[in-house]
Structure 1
């Protein structure tokens, strides 16, 4: 693949802002249409941002997690679907780094940085319909379906998984173009409509042993178990950013409105009830931002410790992230619902499509039940026990 070479004269955050400005122009219309945002994904490829999480020794930019999450947040304020698949690309890069060794992932990372490859997700460990059968010492066959395959369509590389006859989870990395891989294009949910999170199908797909992430393998050490924490912190940023985007739209709308006829003032910005709503929005957003910053710092510290990370250190990061996840979930749902209270009936017109903010976070917040984040944090508060590592905690 000969992709256009990006310019690195701008910072990653400036590049993300430029992309967001372009995506914002068509976000409402594309949300209605659904389907694959091919043109926008190509703009992300050309931007150079796909190399952010790749260490510089392999041709990437070796960015810290704060920078990566900020770029996700910038995009998600205007288009949470694109931000979702972009964020999962970085999650998959981290997954490979955590579950395998440099001798295995060096070639994948170098190709990704050089050719601006987009990674797609067909992992979903809860869906056991894809099975793995070993046919030789060095070769396996993956067969079956996998749901919630975000970003799989139009990807260049796939992270895939299957269960063998002993119920062991095998995770592999393959080119998306591998013979036998197909996508049903059946994602029609009410939110995150351009994430292509539908079903992928593996029809006698050959997986080489060298493509399986076996050393140290999935969630095998406290350090390898940072993978689900990165995923959870991605959701925190998506939720926060959507709430920020909805808040900005509401503020811009209200700034030009007259107050309700029974108000004692002329302009909506001077109405005390409107001011109270925006104060509540502001307080909730500021609270989530502070918790999110604490969670980023906890993750970065754990990441920097590396293979020597202890279970307790990993658990402390998990609590910080779970706390932010609870707050972000509640705030995003509250703000995306209540912006209509200040914008009025005209804001519900189909042309504006402002319900997309609520639909997107309502869909994404169901990825894993927030009740179990409450349980994890509550148990820690009462007993001091940190969460056990799993693909969702």
Structure 2
């Protein structure tokens, strides 16, 4: 791979980010669906980034794909989230589906320019899978936290059958019986459309179910939750880096230091420099851990079905460490940036608090305390994290 410097994606990425940056604060205030910005992603070709060349994609490795997620999150973490989850759905098909399903849906994604949304929330068991004709099912119920479902073309949806078995299906978003509600109004990640999808006896055919090999069916299939966790790490890291860049620009633009300071300008104040030193160390450490975790992840992905449980476990430890570091660094920088930017930076129109609000909302996806406990169990007892949809 040529990495993130490949012009096939760096040029369209730069164009997209320039457009997003102009309206990031206003769109944070407005919330709702970023139709224009999603259209730019469709037109950029970046939605085919992680798809293998044999299906018409660019074949970027996961290190490259998530580094682009990180760069997006520096500018707009909501849209980085949507972009990342699009590729997570495609990875899920590759990990859980048959060869014919993979070939069909990945090739169609490239040909049709599909944007994938998420209605796969394994903690939400309110959607039932009722037996239907031809070995299919009727999905019926409500699904919460469905990031990117609005304005999507295809959904990955989950439901539980009468035996409590988790079923994951692919379905067009506009299929009869599916209603995507515009009910996401949180304090952060305001344009992820992470609201509710309602399924009213939605028919799912047998060949639309990802049951062969199916969810978490092998150490290789268990890479899916690790990719999801790595995505979160890169979003947290990107938010922290974006906050640092804004803080740097604001500090350098200031002409007068604090009245008690002996420095000629704020950028020479020893306390300001100490804050920036802390920010750099925290983010640099998180970045290097993320880089190491993705190198391990890419090696594991290349192993395919030959991947062992021990090898998967090593990736799980690396990803967990990366996530904890990124969450702590992102929260700290997004919070403490105001100690160097000063009172004027709290002007409502700037909406610089969006960095903290975004990382605070997103880091509640699953409790960091439990990631730390897993890492403690590994460090003390040598026990690797058990595979689940969150580890």
TM-score (structure 1 length as normaliser): 0.97
3-state SS, counterpart of residue 253 of structure 2 = coil
RMSD: 0.9
3-state SS, counterpart of residue 203 of structure 2 = strand
Work out the CA distance in 2 between the residues paired with 1:177 and 1:225: 30
Larger mean Cα displacement after TM superposition, 182-191 or 164-173: 182-191
3-state SS, counterpart of residue 141 of structure 2 = strand
The runs of 4+ residues in structure 1 deviating greater than 6 Å are: none
Work out the CA distance in 1 between the residues paired with 2:12 and 2:318: 29
Structure 1 counterpart of 2:230: 233
Work out the CA distance in 2 between the residues paired with 1:16 and 1:383: 44
Which one of the candidate residues 15, 18, 22 is aligned to 1:21?
18
Q: Does the aligned pair in 1 maintain the 2:128–2:140 contact within 8 Å? A: yes
Q: Per-residue deviation at 1:136?
A: 2.0
For residues 167-205 of structure 1, the C-alpha deviation after alignment (integer angstroms, 9 at most, x for no partner) is 000000011111110112111111000000001000110
Structure 2 counterpart of 1:80: 77
Work out the CA distance in 2 between the residues paired with 1:331 and 1:192: 18
Structure 1 counterpart of 2:334: 336
Q: Per-residue deviation at 1:352?
A: 0.1
Q: Per-residue deviation at 1:230?
A: 0.3
Which one of the candidate residues 349, 363, 367 is aligned to 1:369?
367
For residues 15-66 of structure 1, the C-alpha deviation after alignment (integer angstroms, 9 at most, x for no partner) is 2222111101000000000000001000000000100111111111111111
Work out the CA distance in 1 between the residues paired with 2:208 and 2:164: 19
Which one of the candidate residues 55, 59, 68 is aligned to 1:58?
55
Where do residues 14-163 of structure 1 align in structure 2 (5 Å cutoff)?
14-163=11-160
Q: Does the aligned pair in 2 maintain the 1:242–1:357 contact within 8 Å? A: yes
Which one of the candidate residues 308, 311, 316 is aligned to 2:309?
311
Work out the CA distance in 1 between the residues paired with 2:291 and 2:137: 42
Q: Does the aligned pair in 2 maintain the 1:181–1:201 contact within 8 Å? A: yes
Work out the CA distance in 2 between the residues paired with 1:140 and 1:187: 28
Q: Per-residue deviation at 1:336?
A: 0.2
Q: Per-residue deviation at 1:13?
A: 2.6
Give structure 1 stretches of 5+ with no counterpart.
Answer: 1-8
Work out the CA distance in 1 between the residues paired with 2:34 and 2:63: 26
Structure 1 counterpart of 2:3: none
Give structure 2 stretches of 5+ with no counterpart.
Answer: 1-5
3-state SS, counterpart of residue 329 of structure 2 = helix
Matched, 1:198 2:195: yes
Structure 2 counterpart of 1:5: none
Matched, 1:249 2:246: yes
Q: Does the aligned pair in 2 maintain the 1:141–1:204 contact within 8 Å? A: yes
Work out the CA distance in 2 between the residues paired with 1:280 and 1:183: 43
Q: Per-residue deviation at 1:138?
A: 2.7
Work out the CA distance in 2 between the residues paired with 1:10 and 1:324: 28
Structure 1 counterpart of 2:269: 271
Work out the CA distance in 1 between the residues paired with 2:198 and 2:105: 23
Which one of the candidate residues 152, 162, 165 is aligned to 1:165?
162
3-state SS, counterpart of residue 259 of structure 1 = coil
Work out the CA distance in 1 between the residues paired with 2:12 and 2:71: 10
Structure 1 counterpart of 2:205: 208
Q: Does the aligned pair in 2 maintain the 1:17–1:74 contact within 8 Å? A: no
Work out the CA distance in 1 between the residues paired with 2:380 and 2:183: 44
Structure 1 counterpart of 2:385: 387
For residues 61-84 of structure 1, the C-alpha deviation after alignment (integer angstroms, 9 at most, x for no partner) is 111111101211111101000000
Work out the CA distance in 2 between the residues paired with 1:53 and 1:24: 24
Aligned length: 385
Matched, 1:289 2:279: no
For residues 309-346 of structure 1, the C-alpha deviation after alignment (integer angstroms, 9 at most, x for no partner) is 00100000000000010100100000000000001111
Work out the CA distance in 1 between the residues paired with 2:66 and 2:328: 20
Q: Per-residue deviation at 1:105?
A: 2.1
Q: Does the aligned pair in 1 maintain the 2:134–2:205 contact within 8 Å? A: no
Structure 1 counterpart of 2:257: 259
Matched, 1:10 2:10: no
